[in-house]
Each structure stands twice: as C-alpha cells, then as structure tokens.
Structure 1
Amino acid sequence: MSILANSHNSWDSWTKRLFERIENDEDINQNSSEDVSTTSSNSNLKNSIANEKTTFIVGHDVCILSSVNTIIQTTTIRILSLPGLARAHKQPCIQLLRPSLPFATSFMVLNSTSKLLAVAGKYHVAVVILPPAIRSATTPNLAHDVKIHNIGEIYHADDTSPVVKMLWHPLSFNKSHLMVLTADGLLRMYDVSTDPNEPEQIVCFSDQSAFGPSSALKIARSPTSKKKSSSSNGGSGGVFGIDIDEREAVSFSLGCGDDGGDGFAGKLSSVGDGDTSEFIGWNALSVYGVMKNGDLFAFCPFVPLKSVWSLKALNNLKSLTDNQWKSCNQSDEASERRFYWKSRWLDEAIENVNEQQRESNQLPNDTIVLTVSKSPWTKRLLTRQGPIAVISNDSNLETHDFASDLTVVSVGSIVALAISKESGVVDILIQVSSPTADWALQEKLVSSSSHENESPLFVKYEEIELFAPDYQSPAAGQIKFIRDPKYSDAIYAKHYQGVSLISFHPWIKELLKAKELETSTALTDLFGSKHVDSDVQCLIDICESDKSTDGVESFAIVNDLLLGYGFIAKTVNGKSLGHSLTLRSQTLTEQISTNPKSSPSSPAAATRTLKIVAYTPEITTHFEMPRVLEKSQPIIITNEKPGADDTPLDEKLLRTLTSKIVDIRNDIAAIKEAGSFVQNRVEDVQSEALLQHKAICSYVDVLDGEVMERAERIRKRAAKMKVRQDAINARVDAILQFAMDATQPELNEAEREFFAEVRDMASRVRSILKPRLGQVSKQKQILMNQARAIIGSDGTLATLSNEICDTSSISFGNSQLGKINDALKNEYKLLTETWKKAEDV
C-alpha cells in the first residue's frame, strides 16, 4: 500500500493518539464492571475486530465511531472529542452511547451543528440526538443515554426499498431536514424537529408513467404494495418496474451543494446591486438524481418549508422570471400557466419576507427566514425534469456502464456535475442551462415546444479514468464521492483500489477567465485545443497483492485550526492511516478581488486597477553578532620610563611582541570580515524595508482609492436613506393627521342648536353676575377696612383704651366682629363658586 501525502509531526502525533484510542478503547475497559448491554461494548475493540466492523465519520469537533456486530446485527456508537487530541498532555475519552441500534449501520451523516446524527442501515433510518455534554466530555464514562428517533417507520422497514443515500438539507432553518433516497427512486424530506414519521415532501426520480403523478403519493405511502410488486417481478426488497436499470436510483445531490458551505444563503448574500457574477438561478433550489443507467433528473424547487433564504437572490429570481416571460411566446397557454405559478410562488415568498420584517420591527437584512405556506402546493406535484440532455463528443458510448454516485460542484457561476461509473470512470459535466421551477399541469396544456426551451442542458467536459475495472471483485466499480470541507472545487473518490483526489480548480479558473472576456473563442478553445484537465492525485493506492484483504472502509477529511488539514482512513482489515494534506499556495492578489463588484462612481475609477503587492520576506535567518566584535581587545603596554630607548630588548620580549602583533593583525582581519557581514545585513534590512514600504503603499492606495470610494458611496447612500426616511415619516404624520381629522365626530342640527343656546345662556349669566360681583367685592373691601380700623393694624384690641371699654364690651366687640367676618367670607365664597359654575357652563 502506498500513500501520496505530506506527513507532518504534529499531524502524525494526534492521529497516532486517535488510532490508539480507537483500537485500545481504554475508557470502556475501565468501567467494564457495569452491565451496559448484551453486545461486545465492554470488550476490547482489538479483540473483537473479527466480529465487529468499525467505521467512522468526522464532524466539526467530534469523531463518531460505528461498530457493527456481524453476528447479532446491532450497531454500537461511540463519540470521541477531537480538540483534545491536539494537546499532547490530554487523553480524550471515548464516550459510549446507549441504547444500541437494532440494525447494522451502512453509513452515517452528521448535520452542520454536530447535534443530530442520521444513521442508515439497509432498510432502516434513525436519528441520534447528541447532547453537547457528551461531545465535550473528558472523563471516562461507561455509557450515556441518548434519544433515538426512528425515521419513517412505515416507509423504511424490513423488505422495503433499500436506503441509497441520506443528506441534511443545508438551507433548513433548524438544520433538522433530512433527505432520504431509496432505490425505488423516492426522495423523502423529513423535518425531524416536528414529525419524524411522515415526510414533509416527496418526489420520485423513477418513471411515473406507469401510475401517473396523481398516484405518486399513494405508492409512496403504501409499503405493502411494494412487497407484492417485489414478489411478482422477482426484485429484491422494493421493486421498481419492468426495466430495473431505468427505475433504480443510485444517488442524488443538491444544486446549492451537499454541505451548504457556498450555498444559496451564504454565497448569494454577497452579491452586490446589479451584480450577477455568482447568480446561479433556480439551480440553488434544485435537486438532481441519477439512475443506475446514467439518466439524470431534476426537481425544482425542492427546499424545506421553513428555510434560510437570500432576499437578493429572491429578487434576482423574480427579475429573471419576468425577463423570461417577456421573451417567450406569450400566446402559449402552457407557458403562461408555468410562469403564473413561478410568479405566484416568488410573490408569496417575497411577501412573506416583507411581512416578517414588518412584524419583527428590525432593520432590513439579506439573510432571512422564509416559511412557505404548505396548503397551496401539496395539491400540485413537482414536475420531474429529464432525462437531462448531455452534449458529448464521444460517439462510442457504453450502454452497459452503470452509474454509482453523483455530486454537484458549484464555484461562482460555474455549476458542474461529477458522475461516477462502475467501470472506474468519472464523467465531468458542465451546466449550460439550469432547471427551473415547474409544477405538474394538466395533460392538455403541456406544450413540448415551450417546455424544451426551459429544460436543463449539460455538456460533457472530460472523462477521468481512475482504475481498470475488476468485475470479479464484489466491490469493484463502487466509487463514492466525499466533499472537501476547505475547497469547494475539490472532491475525493473512494473506491476499492484506494482514494483519489480530483481538483477542478485548473479548468474552473480558466473557464471563469473566459466568461469574463465574454468571447466564444476562449470557450471553444477550452473545450478543444486549449483543453485543461482536472488535477487528479492518488492519495491511497492499494497494491495488487493486497486487494484481497485491503480496501478503504472509512475515509474522512479533517479541517480544524488546532488539528490542521488532512485525512484519516481505515482499511477493511483494520489498518489505520492518517496524513496531512498540502494547502494551496495563494497570493494576496488572488485573495483580494481587484475588480469591485459594484459599479464605479467615476470614469477614472472604472479605468484604474488597484493591486495588492504580494510581500514575501527575503530575510529568513536571525541576525547573530560576530564573536570577534564581542571579544575584548588586547591591551598594549608601552615602556614610558626615562631612558627606555637605550634599554636593549631581550629575545623573550621580542617574541611576546611578535605574537601580540600577529594576534592584532588576525583580529583586524576578522573585524573587517565582520564589518562587511554587518554591512551586508544592513543592506538586506534596507531592501526588506523597501519591500515592506511598497506593500504598505499598495495597501494605502487601495484604502485611499477603492475603500474610501466605497465608504463615500455608503455614506451618501445612508444620507439618501435618511432623507427618504424623513420624507416617509412626514408622509406618515400627514396621513395620521388626515385620518384623525376624518374621524372627528360631526354634530346634527339639534345638537348644534343646544350648544348655541348653552353659549348664549353662559354669556347672559356672565353679563348679569359680573357687575354684582364687583359691587359685592367693593362692599367686602369697605367692611374689611372698617374692621381693621376697629380691631387694629396688628389684629388685636390693644389700641382701645381700657378706661373707656370694660372687659365685657371688649369681648362683645370681638365676638360680634368675628360673626360679621364669617358672614362676609361665606357670602364671598358663595358668590365666587356661583361665578365659577357660570363660567364652566
């Protein structure tokens, strides 16, 4: 066995620990005293390798192991946390999940949140809910109780149609929509969060002419009828029809990508105003299926009823539909009905989005959540589009070459299909026209001429031969595709002779350049004389002598910040492989787009091309000070005594001076050499500084040019939006004022006469009472002045003479004055209240 990959020390270290944990399973052995189940979960995996078939898949931060006991046909699932493997001092533990699944697992699919694990057997489907505490556990535990939901117990049971492929829909709002394809061509979509038993939507890739579109749901909901058909036609487990090759489905794939990394809501949300360079039309809402004989079919739109959408993409689809309707034959009744249902579907979606934004009272956002009403569309089945036409230059087509798998690759506006064949060949098809939304119409309204113009079309770009077929091997020809989580234009093909990497990057890059030039010559040369092949590399190659025992059973790509980028694999005989993969070299000019997606604001900006200078450090070594410069120089002692010149020099002193002079000369030569070395280093640093300065200047040019222009456009747009919002607010205020004025009560003739009479009475009361109140006020003021004169300015009787008035007369005067004052106050109060009442009336 040979492996073509770049090994790395850190990668080898954590993969070694991973395989040691898988093989030894120390965490389960530490708790082997606890009775979990009757299976071999308490025994060492290395000892039970003969009775168990272990496979694995890798998610965002977990590795999920599936051990199938071949004797009792049960499946044990274990989970291992991957981030702990990147740290050498930590030993993550394998967590066991219980209960075990009562069927043998064929393959597993993990959703994007790593919380739902879909497990499929030959006939059964189940979903395991993975709590976060289990995925991040670092202490050994024997078993964890988890919830397991059986999916479609009526449709996926013993002796029904075998399960072919499963995928989680990437546009699902809750990431809980599971798509299950069975060999009879039925594709069911389940919303696990609401109803795991009944599918939300059903489409059929196989030939429906035998039973008609109206009875498709009846056949889908009647597994007993399949059993009878199976026994009558001689098929095994879910029969298809007269020609089993035409009605047996082998795989399906989504137009937006199976992983959704560059899907409908993510990629198209970055499309600017008026820019359609990455717009792929209805293809983002389509699903493709391939039959065993190689026929391609499509359904559109096939999306969850509650999904994540892009508002700009919806508006682009609406504009595309309107333009197509203007350019087509409007006299055709069938075309008119098709465009009517498209427009109605889009109008309902856009109105739903606008209503949600009005109710949520939030700022407008491109990524929105859409809930499509189910009732108007359940009565109409989606139309099966196909067999899709494929243009090919190969005249010698093999009629007995069966298909085995299908995947869609979407990069920018380029959509390609990869179809694997049992002969070891992978066909690469490029999309010319995408599917469009289509529902089943009445037979008398169907017009073949108008329908052919809207049918999808592909052209065969190349044919890749991975291996020579060996029809004696039972696993020969079964090529399965694995998507690369890092690069959307690369796939991995797993087959019985190993694993191959297929990269479409070389010709997709040239095709994008040809589309930018908008010349037919460049496209013709790409398919002719200047044909660019895909980059094919063999990662794992099974030797000829090992084919009887070896074979890649599990293969997964790991893309993590801590763990790195590489693959791990396991062969049939239990051998584990793990190596890092080489990242693509990418300069800053490729990372940053030099052409702005929005239209430039000035002609000068349209002709200017800003480029980022790629800065690559030329100084890769650290500077070390020459040792001779750190050495202490010798001290020369001179004889300054009087008469020293007459003193003869002996031979010993001469030898000492000679050795010192030689050392000094050597040091001087070393210092000169060190000086030249330092000078060269200084020159290198200066040149490095110039390179950095050029790179910084290029960044400054981009910031001052393109970025500042975009910021200015955004600022002007915000100012216009503010003015527009103020105008809208003023209009709303005017409408509210008009509404308030329009809703004021109107009085009838009798009410008007009554209010006029009341006003007249009030004026008369005022005219009569006003002079009387003035007179009473003057009288009160006179009496108050007299009372003050009698009592005194200080409010006491101290001013009266004790000789004239005795005590009784004084007491009588005080009491009498108080009575008078109270009477006046009461009269004044009554008059004041009367005046106020008159004014109120």
Structure 2
Amino acid sequence: MPKVISYTPAWLSKPNPGHEIFTTKTMGAPTASSNGSTASSKRAAKPGPRRTIARRGTEVFIAVGKEIRWADLVYLKEAWEDKQSTNSLSKGKGRDSYNQFEGDHAQGYRIIKTQVAEDIRQLIISPHANYIAILTTHTVHVAILPDPSLLTAADTGPMKLKYYTLGPTTHVTSQSGIASALWHPLGVNGTCLVTVTEDAVVRLWELSTTDRWSFDKPTLAIDLKKLADGTSVDQDFGASVPGTSKGFSPDSFEMEVASACFASRGSGGWSPMTLWIAMREGDIYALCPLLPEKWSPPPTLIPSLSVSIVAKVAAYEDEQGVSPQSKALAQQQLDWMSEIDNQEPSHIEGPPGEPIAEVYLRPGKPGRVPKLQGPFELDLAPEESEQEADELLSDICVIGPKMDADELMFGEEDDLELDEVDQEGLSVGIVCILTSSGRLLVCLDLDGVEAQWLPKAKQKVTRFVEDSNPPSLLTFEALDTSRDSEVRDANWPVFSHDVNSRYSFYITNTSSITFISLAPWVFRMEAELNEATIGTDFRIKILVEGNKSLRERLWTQKSYDKSSPLSASAVIRDPDLGYFLLSATSHGPIALTFEAPDLHFDLERRSRSPTYDPEPDKPLIFFEPRPCYEPAHTLEESSAMPAFIERVRHGKYKRLLQEEVRLSPATLTIITEAHKVISEETHRVGTAAAELFRRCVKLQLDLTNHIAKARDVANRIKAITGDDVDDGQPVITADARVEARIEAAKRRQTELNNRIEDMRRKANRGSNRELSDKEKAWIEEVDTLDHTTATEEGNQEPVDPKGHAARLAKVKKLEEELLDDVHDLSTEKEVATPQKLKVPSEIRKAKMAQVMGLLERESALVEAAKNRLERLSLA
C-alpha cells in the first residue's frame, strides 16, 4: 500500500508556472473552459470519462478546454529549485553565470493549439508515444507528437501540430458519441486505433501517415447489435451508413456502451486480442479474436496458442461425450491457427529502441468477424441496490492471465526471456467492473475467453444449445469507493493503472482518489491452485472469506467544491520525481508523492562493480504529511453583478436604472433576478469564508500540537545528553549512562544464561528417555576400564594380570630395582674412594648421565600412570 509522504509540491503550486498550466490561464491568456468541466454546450455537459492528463515519460499533456498544455515536470522542478537557489544567492554575492532557466531560454512548458470544436474530454497516448488521440464527446483527432527537443526549444509561443481527423463522416456531432478509444495492443508499431461508440459500433483504424485514406475509412467496422442477433458468419455485420434513419430497438437502450478495454500485450492466452465491452445498463460482452488486417504479436503469443489448440483438438478426439459444438469450435480454432502457421511473416523496423516487428495477416477463415460472447452472467453478484447509480457501469479493466513460460518451453533447451511482470500473478483472468456509484466488482474469468466464430450458413446450430451454457464470471469481491453523500448524477469513476504492479490500480471519482491492490490474495490463490493438495478447498474458502484486497482513500475533494471534478490520475515513477500521482481540476493540479517501494534486483547487485558507492539512505519522515491550504477559488472570482447590470442596461428594463425605485412588477422582476445572482455568490463566498475560519482554528490546534511534540523531543534530547539534571546534583554524562546500560544488559544476559543452563540440567536429570547407542558404548568402555584397574580388597595384586594396575605394579617394581642399583653404585664409589681409585672424569660423567636419564624416564612413566589412574577414577 503506498504511503503518502507529501502532497502538491511547491513547484506545482501558486504562483509558479507549474500551477498555471493546469488552470484556465497560462501566461495571462484566458480560455473558455478548463479540463473539460465547463461545458460549451449541452452536449459537452453530458457525463462521461475525464482523462485529460496523458504522459510520455516525465512529460505531461493536459487538456484545458480546447487547448493542450505540454510540460516537462522534471524541467519545471529543476527550474523552481534553481530559482530558489538564485534568490538565496542574490542576498549575498549573486552570480553572473549562464542559466538555462532564464526567461530567454526554454521554459519547460508550451501551449499546443488544436482543431477541435468542443472541449477535449480524453487524451490517449499511443504505445510508442509517437501519436496522441484527442477525443471530444463525438470527434476524434490524431496528432503526431514531436520530439521532446522541439518542445523544449527557445520558442515559447503556441505550437501547432500535424493533425488528422479520424472519420470525418463517421465521428461527427450528428452521430453517436465516442465511448472509448483504444490503441490495439497487437497493432503494427502501435498504429491501430479502436474506437467504440455509444451505439455499440466497433471500428478498427490502421493508421499510416503516408496514406491519408487510412484516417477516413476503418478497415473493419462491426455493429454489435447486429452481431448479437447473427446466426451465420456470412452475414453483414457492418455499421449502418451515416445518415440512415434508425428506428427504435430495445438493443439501443440495453447496449449503450459505457467503456471498453484490452488486456496488456504480454498477457497469456487469447487476452491480447480480446475486446471487453461494458454496457451502461450492466451487461458485459467479449469479442475475440479482434485483429486488424496487419498485426504484430509478441514472440510467445503464436507458440502458446498453437500448443493449446493442438492439445485441445487431440484431447477432444480421444475423449468421449464431447459435444459437437465444442469439436466444431476446436476445429475452427485449428483452421485459424493453420492459416497463421502457413504464413511467412514480414519484418518491419520499429521506432528507435524497439525490436523489429513480425507482421502477420489476419486469417480469412473461419471469418474476420468473431462471435459476440455474452452477456456474461455474474455468479455470486451482490444484491441489487435501490440506487440506480449502482447498476450503471462506468468503466472496465481486465488483467489477463500470466504467461506460463515453463509449460510453453517444456522439453526445449533454450530458455525464453520474458518480463518478470508477465510471469507473475494469477493464471486466471481478472475482470474489474466499476459503477457510477463507485462500487467495484472484482470478477474471475475461470473458464477463460477463447476465440469463437459463428457457424457457416450450411452449419447452423440451434441457439437453444448455445444458450444452454452462457458464459459467466465469478464475483470474487465487491468494494465501495464512494460515500453516499458523494454519489451524484455526473459521477463517472475511471481506472488508472499503477506502474509498480499490474494487480494494483487507482480509481478516480468525481471527488476522490482511491488505491486498490489485489496482491494480498492473487499470489496466495495462485499457489493454492498450482499445488492442489489436501485441504486446498478449505484454504481457498478461508482466503475468500477473509480480508482480501487492499483499499485506501488517498484524496478527498472539498465538499463544497462540486463544480470541478477530478481528472483521471496519471501515475509516474522517475528517479527525479519519485513515485508520483498527478490529477487535476479546473483550478489547479493535485499531486501526491508516495514512498517508493523497496525493490531489490539481485542481478543488478551482482553486476555492480566493487567500487560502487550506494546512495545514502533517505532521512526518516516523522511527521504526518498534509496538503497545504489553498483558499477557495470563489474568493478569486469576480462578481457576476457587473455583467448582470450591463445586461439589464441593454434590455427592456434599462429605463428603470435611471429612475427612482418604484414598486412595480418590472422592479420586482429585476430585484428577483439580482437576488438570485447575489444569493448564489454570497453562499459561495460564505462557504469559502467558513472554510477559512475552520482552517484558522485548526491551525491553532496544529500549532499547539507541534509545540507539545517539540517540547517532548527537547526533553528526550536533554535526557540523553544529561542536560535535564538540576543544579547541585552530580552530572552523569551520556557516555556514562550508555556504559551503565551496557553493563546492566551484560549482567542481565549472564543471569539469563545461568538460568537457562540450570533449567537444561534439571530437564536432563528429569528425563527418562532411553540411552542412545553411543551412550551405551561409552558405559561399556567405562566398565572395561574399571575392570582392568580394579584390585581385590586386602590384596594389592590386580584382578586382571594384563590390566593397567599390573603395568603400574611392574613399573614400581622396576623403579625399586633401579633405585637399588643406584644405591649399590654409590656404595661402591664410597668404598673405592679411600683406595684412591682413579676413574676418568669422562667415564664418570657418562655413567651419571646415563643413570639420571633412566631415573627421569622412570619418573615420567610413574607420573603418567598416576595421572591416567586419577582421570579414570574421576570418570
């Protein structure tokens, strides 16, 4: 769960340029509306998704009315820091060095002019970040994004990009509005755009800047209302010709599209080519496989699908009781895959830094239009609510199953290199559904969506058999992200993907931002599904009934500020910015900086050089972060009374402004209208003033709390340094205190060790366990030694004549004989001396040395025997 360490930084606050980029004024140029929240027409006020922030690395594109503001966040941050350092130096010596952040250089932000006629509602960056789709309620424009070096040029004036209008006769204000625009994950170099209109028409646009006709007509158009009632693949499911009159149909109400999405490109199975569509009234559909005419799969997609299809066909041939419909579907998939295997892919170079793409053609058999699967039944769905907003869907997010590289490369010598993100997680797809009331439904796609086509005209299958087993999703969890007081008719919550894990995301509502993480149960469930041991059902039940997903509200909009809804969040992770979330209202940005998760990469640690100097640890944060107070924007707005008076001055009651006030119907009308204007303004000003008063009161409480905390910290510091001792008492230094604590800890440790040793001895004495083989052998050895050294009572002779006692007796006897010999020799010497026998000194010294050596040897033998006997007796 991310921990907020700071809120909107100073370089994105007033009066810095970083704040003005998100508002209706930039460099003093006002615009008509802001962030798509102020409608220029009734059609623009229609509820819908607000994705007005798109990012390319650390660059952000913000839609403000009909304009696009570009900014490099790192550049803005560094410019603000440079300005602060310049101001601090200017108080001293100052500096005259070159500065790239001065006014005559690049400012890190630009205004991009557009060709749209209404306020921009969505900005969608292509996968390779070279195109941007600009959406209003009914139109789509595609712009070519320039290189970042051009955006940071010295010219700071408005910039005009090269625009292409997508479907000039298709996506127009007289037709249905745009529900979603998606870049197909399998498009060639990210140039395939999928548009889904509210009337359930899906169009694929394969864009090419060298072919302007690719922006005029889609390569594939599918009307889902026709496809839902289709019986044969040979039928025409194309969209109706623009301008054709349409009659009423129940499908027009039940199949109003709310949102659509694809799974990520690296997902396993059929997920990258499956389009999920969420209808406004609550139905979920899937379209698989939805491919452009030319498509570029990742290296693992075709091999994995080929293995699964061949295995399925082989299993159906050997298995009894398989329905004809299942066999026909497996044969259709085999024909589809066979046509791909027979192709020789072409190779196209991608953008700089991207690998060469292998391009395949879409198979013509069984058909280019897949079958519409659905509506999906939601098993274990929550009970229907009385609120209509609980049943209206607003957005959908699909997390595809992980790619099983071990199964794919089974029996192969080479290892397949895959991204760690694609290899981790759950082997089952997850479908997250969001309602207008902020309720989140987390569903599991246990059966898995596979490619399906309608049968040929000659192979029609009765619909009763098909509808007997409708597709379903298992509702795993339901979470509420909005309070009852926050639910309004204009609510349209949307998903925002996280950059750290594909199993976490952010939900941006009209007035709140909530973090959701599925990681607590995803990995545990995958382990249980893979092991399938005894007790798995019980453990999965405990997992389902226990605490599941993490949910934390990160930001709540002020209750009185309902006219400026939040834009969909953009999440950035960069070494210069950190872990960063960015949203915006019509009055400025909202930024949250999180504590970066602790990610360790063993490969990087092993590849570091011995002289690598790691970065110092960041200081711990002991304070609770909180957003800075900003006065309500109502206090900065000008009054509407001058405009009202000007309107009356040019109206039919203009003469009343020049006459005395008289009681008349005309005067009552003017006063009533003026009262409406003034009452609304005074209410907003009063609410803002009340908020300011509450903030002032809270500031006093916070200041008191800070003083108390500072006093507590000061007392702790004094207690450590010894400054808290009164005069007249002996002063004990901090070193002495620490040493005393260390000595006390050592004594305590010694006492604990002694107690543990005593307990161990008592436990050993109290145990009645059987002796081990080693202990039994040791006892036998002791008995043998005792038998060899024992002597009978009253008799000094040993029991065992070959034992140690016998050897000791023999040594003692030898010692006595040697001593007798020495005594005899000394006696002979005394006798020989009176006779004055002359013995050479050399012989005498040699003899004495020989005798002394024998004595020392015997003494050593005796001592060794005694010591050994003592040890044996002690043992």
The match for 2:190 is: 175
The answer (yes or no) to whether the contact 2:516–2:550 under 8 Å persists in 1 is: yes
Show CA shifts across 1:103-148 (max 9, x none). 3211111113222110111111110111105664142421333211
2-side partners of 1:566 and 1:620: how far apart?
17
- The one-letter code matched in structure 2 to 1:117 is I
- Structure 1: tracts of 5 or more residues without a match: 33-38, 69-74, 234-240, 265-279, 361-365, 593-615, 622-668, 684-841
Displacement of 1:286 after TM fit?
1.3
State yes or no: 1:409 paired with 2:424. no
Structure 1 residues 420 and 319 mapped into 2: Cα distance closer, same or farther (>3 Å)?
same
Show CA shifts across 1:757-811 (max 9, x none). xxxxxxxxxxxxxxxxxxxxxxxxxxxxxxxxxxxxxxxxxxxxxxxxxxxxxxx
Structure 1 residues 203 and 330 mapped into 2: Cα distance closer, same or farther (>3 Å)?
farther
Aligned partner of 2:216 among 192, 197, 208:
197
Q: 5 Å matches for 1:67-466?
A: 67-68=64-65, 75-87=66-78, 88-89=81-82, 91=101, 92-133=107-148, 136-193=151-208, 194=211, 195-206=214-225, 208=227, 220-225=239-244, 228-229=245-246, 232-233=247-248, 241-254=249-262, 256-257=263-264, 260=265, 263-264=266-267, 280-328=268-316, 334-352=325-343, 369-374=357-362, 376=364, 380-392=368-380, 394=382, 401-410=391-400, 411-442=425-456, 444-446=459-461, 456-466=471-481
1-side partners of 2:733 and 2:161: how far apart?
75
- Structure 2: tracts of 5 or more residues without a match: 45-49, 83-99, 102-106, 401-424, 606-613, 620-731, 747-875
2-side partners of 1:482 and 1:304: how far apart?
26
Displacement of 1:376 after TM fit?
2.2
2-side partners of 1:162 and 1:288: how far apart?
19
The match for 2:508 is: 494
Q: 1:220 aligns to what SS in structure 2?
A: coil
- The one-letter code matched in structure 2 to 1:420 is L
State yes or no: 1:580 paired with 2:593. yes
The answer (yes or no) to whether the contact 1:287–1:298 under 8 Å persists in 2 is: yes
2-side partners of 1:284 and 1:453: how far apart?
28
Show CA shifts across 1:483-513 (max 9, x none). 1133211111111231111111111122122
Show CA shifts across 1:23-46 (max 9, x none). 17999987x9xxxxxx957x9999
Structure 1 residues 297 and 285 mapped into 2: Cα distance closer, same or farther (>3 Å)?
same
- The one-letter code matched in structure 1 to 2:488 is S
Q: Which moved more, 1:502-511 or 1:12-21?
A: 12-21
Show CA shifts across 1:186-240 (max 9, x none). 1212112251222223334446456776797565141212xx22xx54xxxxxxx
2-side partners of 1:284 and 1:549: how far apart?
38
2-side partners of 1:451 and 1:50: how far apart?
46
The answer (yes or no) to whether the contact 1:204–1:216 under 8 Å persists in 2 is: no
Q: 2:190 aligns to what SS in structure 1?
A: coil
- The one-letter code matched in structure 2 to 1:6 is V
Show CA shifts across 1:47-101 (max 9, x none). x999999943333231112221xxxxxx122321233134233653322233532
Show CA shifts across 1:802-825 (max 9, x none). xxxxxxxxxxxxxxxxxxxxxxxx
Structure 1 residues 314 and 143 mapped into 2: Cα distance closer, same or farther (>3 Å)?
same
The answer (yes or no) to whether the contact 2:369–2:453 under 8 Å persists in 1 is: yes
Displacement of 1:539 after TM fit?
1.1
The answer (yes or no) to whether the contact 2:261–2:275 under 8 Å persists in 1 is: yes
Equivalent residue pairs, number: 550
Displacement of 1:560 after TM fit?
1.8
Structure 1 residues 405 and 139 mapped into 2: Cα distance closer, same or farther (>3 Å)?
same
User: Identity of paired residues, percent?
Assistant: 16
- The one-letter code matched in structure 2 to 1:62 is E
Structure 1 residues 586 and 515 mapped into 2: Cα distance closer, same or farther (>3 Å)?
farther
The answer (yes or no) to whether the contact 2:445–2:473 under 8 Å persists in 1 is: yes
1-side partners of 2:173 and 2:600: how far apart?
55
- The one-letter code matched in structure 2 to 1:581 is F
State yes or no: 1:483 paired with 2:497. yes
The match for 2:20 is: 23
The answer (yes or no) to whether the contact 2:429–2:444 under 8 Å persists in 1 is: yes
Structure 1 residues 211 and 345 mapped into 2: Cα distance closer, same or farther (>3 Å)?
closer
The match for 1:637 is: none
Aligned partner of 1:61 among 54, 58, 62:
58
Q: 1:344 aligns to what SS in structure 2?
A: helix
The match for 2:712 is: none
Q: 1:372 aligns to what SS in structure 2?
A: strand
1-side partners of 2:585 and 2:321: how far apart?
60
The answer (yes or no) to whether the contact 2:506–2:513 under 8 Å persists in 1 is: yes
Higher relative contact order (CA 8 A, sep 6+): 2
The match for 1:560 is: 574
The answer (yes or no) to whether the contact 2:138–2:171 under 8 Å persists in 1 is: yes
Displacement of 1:296 after TM fit?
1.4
What RMSD in Å do the two structures reach over aligned CA positions?
4.5
Show CA shifts across 1:368-407 (max 9, x none). 7443334725954210111123321646577951211100
- The one-letter code matched in structure 2 to 1:569 is S
Q: 2:215 aligns to what SS in structure 1?
A: coil
Q: 1:474 aligns to what SS in structure 2?
A: coil
The match for 2:9 is: 12
Structure 1 residues 471 and 554 mapped into 2: Cα distance closer, same or farther (>3 Å)?
closer
2-side partners of 1:96 and 1:474: how far apart?
33
Q: Which moved more, 1:146-155 or 1:302-311?
A: 302-311
Structure 1 residues 192 and 221 mapped into 2: Cα distance closer, same or farther (>3 Å)?
farther
1-side partners of 2:185 and 2:490: how far apart?
31
1-side partners of 2:110 and 2:617: how far apart?
49
Aligned partner of 1:508 among 514, 519, 522:
522
Q: 2:520 aligns to what SS in structure 1?
A: helix
Displacement of 1:617 after TM fit?
13
2-side partners of 1:218 and 1:509: how far apart?
41
- The one-letter code matched in structure 2 to 1:577 is I
2-side partners of 1:115 and 1:504: how far apart?
32
The answer (yes or no) to whether the contact 2:59–2:72 under 8 Å persists in 1 is: yes
**TM-score in terms of structure 2 length:** 0.55
Show CA shifts across 1:619-641 (max 9, x none). 999xxxxxxxxxxxxxxxxxxxx
Q: Which moved more, 1:159-168 or 1:333-342?
A: 333-342
Structure 1 residues 441 and 469 mapped into 2: Cα distance closer, same or farther (>3 Å)?
farther
**TM-score in terms of structure 1 length:** 0.57
The answer (yes or no) to whether the contact 1:207–1:247 under 8 Å persists in 2 is: no
